[in-house]
Chain A
Amino acid sequence: MGKKVMMLGNEAIARGAYEAGVRVSAAYPGTPSTEVSEALVQYKDELYAEWSPNEKVAAEVAIGASMAGARAMACMKHVGLNVAADPLYTASYMGVTGGLVLVVADDPGLYSSQNEQDTRMVARAAHVPVLEPSDSGEAKEFMKLAFDYSEKYDRPFILRTTTRLAHSQSTVELAERVEHDLIPYEKNIAKRVMMPAMAKGRHAVIEEKMKELEKDSCVLPVNRVEMRDKKIGVITSGIPYQYVREALPDASVLKLGMVNPLPKQAILDFADAVDELYIIEELDPMIETQVRAFGVSCKGKELFTPLGEYSANMIRKAILGVGVEAKAPAEVPNRPPILCPGCPHRSVFYVLKKLEIHAAGDIGCYTLGAVAPLAVVDSTICMGASISSMHGIEKAAGKEFAKDWVAVIGDSTFLHTGVNSLMNMAYNKANGTVIILDNSTTGMTGHQDHAATGLTLQKEPTCSVNIPELVRALGVPHVQEINAFDLEALETAIKRAKDEDGIHVIITKTPCVLLDKRKKPLYIVHSDKCRKCGMCLKPGCPAMSKQADGTVHIDDTMCTGCGLCGQLCKFSAIEKAGE
Chain B
Amino acid sequence: MNGTKSIMIVGVGGQGTLLTSRILGGIAMENGFDVKISEVHGMSQRGGSVVTYVRYGETVAEPIVEEGQADVIIAFERLEALRYSHFLKKDGVLIANDWRIDPMPVLIGAAEYPEQILENLEKQVKVYSVNATEEAKKLGNSRVSNLVVLGLAAKHMDFSKEQWYSVIEHTVPPKTIDVNKAAFDAGYCS
B-binding residues in A (CB < 8 A) = 6, 8, 31-32, 34-35, 111-112, 135, 164, 167-171, 239, 242-243, 245-246, 249, 311-313, 324-330, 332-340, 365, 367-368, 371-373, 444-446, 537, 540, 542, 544-546, 555-558
Contact = CB atoms under 8 A, between A and B. Distances in A.
A311 B103 CA distance: 28
Nearest to B66: A313
B62 interface: yes
B113 interface: yes
A330 B12 CA distance: 17
B67 A324 contact: yes
B150 to A, nearest CB: 17
Nearest to B59: A245
B61 A245 contact: yes
Contacts of A311: 62, 64, 66
B86 A329 contact: yes
Given A112-B42, A335-B47, A557-B137, 14 more contacts: A31-B41, A111-B40, A169-B25, A171-B34, A242-B63, A324-B67, A327-B124, A329-B83, A333-B112, A335-B83, A337-B48, A368-B43, A545-B106, A557-B133
Interface string B24-65: 011001000011111111111111110000000000111110
A373 to B, nearest CB: 5
A330 B48 contact: no
B104 A336 contact: yes
Given A168-B38, A328-B86, A242 B61 contact: yes
A112 B41 contact: yes
A8 B39 contact: yes
Nearest to A444: B43
Contact of B48 (A169, A336, A372, A446): A336
Contacts of A242: 61-63
A500 B183 CA distance: 57
Contacts of A333: 79, 103, 105-106, 110-114
A348 B190 CA distance: 44
Given A542-B104, A557-B142, A168 B37 contact: yes
A337 B45 contact: yes
Contacts of B39: 8, 167-169
A337 B68 contact: no
Given A111-B40, A164-B38, A338 B47 contact: yes
B105 A334 contact: yes
A-B pairs with lowest CB-CB distance, top 3? A326-B68, A112-B42, A31-B42
A312 B62 contact: yes
A575 B41 CA distance: 35
B104 A338 contact: yes
B102 A545 contact: yes
Contacts of B114: 332-333
B118 to A, nearest CB: 13
A170 to B, nearest CB: 5
B43 to A, nearest CB: 4
Contacts of A332: 79, 82-83, 114
30 contacts: A31-B42, A32-B41, A167-B39, A170-B35, A170-B63, A245-B62, A246-B61, A313-B67, A326-B67, A327-B86, A329-B67, A329-B86, A332-B79, A333-B110, A335-B49, A335-B80, A337-B43, A337-B48, A338-B46, A338-B48, A339-B47, A368-B46, A373-B108, A445-B42, A446-B41, A542-B101, A542-B102, A542-B107, A544-B107, A546-B109
B104 A171 contact: no
B69 interface: yes
Interface in B72-87: 79-80, 82-83, 85-87
B111 A334 contact: yes
B42 A32 contact: yes
Interface residues of chain A: helix, strand, loop or mixed (majority)? loop
B47 A542 contact: yes
A125 to B, nearest CB: 27
Contact of A168 (B63, B69, B133): B63
Nearest to A334: B105
Contacts of A367: 43
Contact of B44 (A8, A337, A339): A337
Nearest to B13: A337
Contacts of A170: 34-37, 60, 63
Contact of A335 (B36, B48, B85): B48
Nearest to A333: B111
Given A31-B42, A168-B63, A246-B61, A326 B87 contact: yes
Contacts of B157: none
Given A335-B48, A337-B46, A340-B14, A169 B40 contact: no
Contacts of A327: 67-68, 85-86, 124
Contact of B25 (A6, A243, A555): A6
Contacts of A8: 39
B79 to A, nearest CB: 6
Contacts of B34: 170-171
Contact of A340 (B42, B46, B49, B83): B46
B1 interface: yes
Contacts of A135: 36, 63
A329 B45 CA distance: 22
Nearest to B125: A327
Interface in B140-159: 142
Nearest to A443: B46
Nearest to B52: A167
Contacts of A337: 13, 43-48
A324 B66 contact: yes
Contacts of A245: 61-62
Contact of A540 (B44, B68, B107, B133): B107
A365 B36 contact: no
B62 A246 contact: yes
Nearest to B103: A335
A341 to B, nearest CB: 8
Contact of A371 (B38, B68, B104): B104
Contacts of B44: 111-112, 337
Contacts of B12: 335
B31 to A, nearest CB: 13
Given A312-B62, A335-B49, A444 B103 contact: no
Nearest to B70: A326
Interface in B117-168: 124, 133, 137, 142
B105 A339 contact: no
A195 B161 CA distance: 68
Contacts of A545: 102, 106-107
B84 to A, nearest CB: 8
